Amino acid sequence: MNHTTGRLLNITALLSIAAVAVALVSQYVFNLQPCAWCVLQRLIYLCVAAVCWLGLLGRTPFPRRAAALLALLLCAAGVVAAWYQYDVAAHLFSCSQTFADRFVVGLGLDAHVPWLFGILSSCMDAQVKVLGVEYAIWSLILFCVLGLVSLAALLRRP
């Protein structure tokens, strides 16, 4: 696989890490506390980055294609999570016992890495607009962009 595929995977990973960094700055500098769906999206971004970088370890086309495909599927999951947060969870008084809450708590992420995966707000309280657009929509847009970059990496010819 050529260098372009590697660059696309690297860009996808770096943008995913940047998204988590922005979320952490929002939380710790601007006091925007994350809900369960926000935390789930952080996890998905980190998984996208890990998959892309693991794919770069392979020297043959298969691991890079597999990484691009897995990143694409994770981005689709991120789109669903962001849409659900915006359209459904934001109207609930509590995120507790939703899929995101059960998943994050079930993995023990909120207890073992609370500075990154702590669920500190309800979905209704976590509604925030940045430049007039809700945070969840920004995340949805970024997942779409990352998905397109992953698709481009997947479709590159060896």
* Contact status, residue 127 vs residue 90, Cβ threshold 8 Å: yes
pLDDT tens for each residue of 99-145? 888 899 989 998 999 999 988 887 776 677 778 888 889 999 999 99
pLDDT at 1: 45
Q: How far apart are CA 85 and CA 66, in angstroms?
A: 28
- Helix (H) / strand (E) element for 130: namely strand 129-130
97: left (phi over 0), alpha (psi -120 to 50) or beta: left
Output the domain CATH number for residue 115. Answer: 1.20.1550
The model's confidence at residue 93, banded by pLDDT at 50, 70 and 90, is low
Strand partners, 130: 133
d(CA 82, CA 89): 10
Structurally, how many domains does the chain consist of?
A: 1
Domain that holds residue 121: 3-155
33-91 pLDDT tens trace = 898 999 999 999 999 999 999 999 988 889 999 999 999 999 999 999 999 998 887 77
The whole-model pTM stands at: 0.92
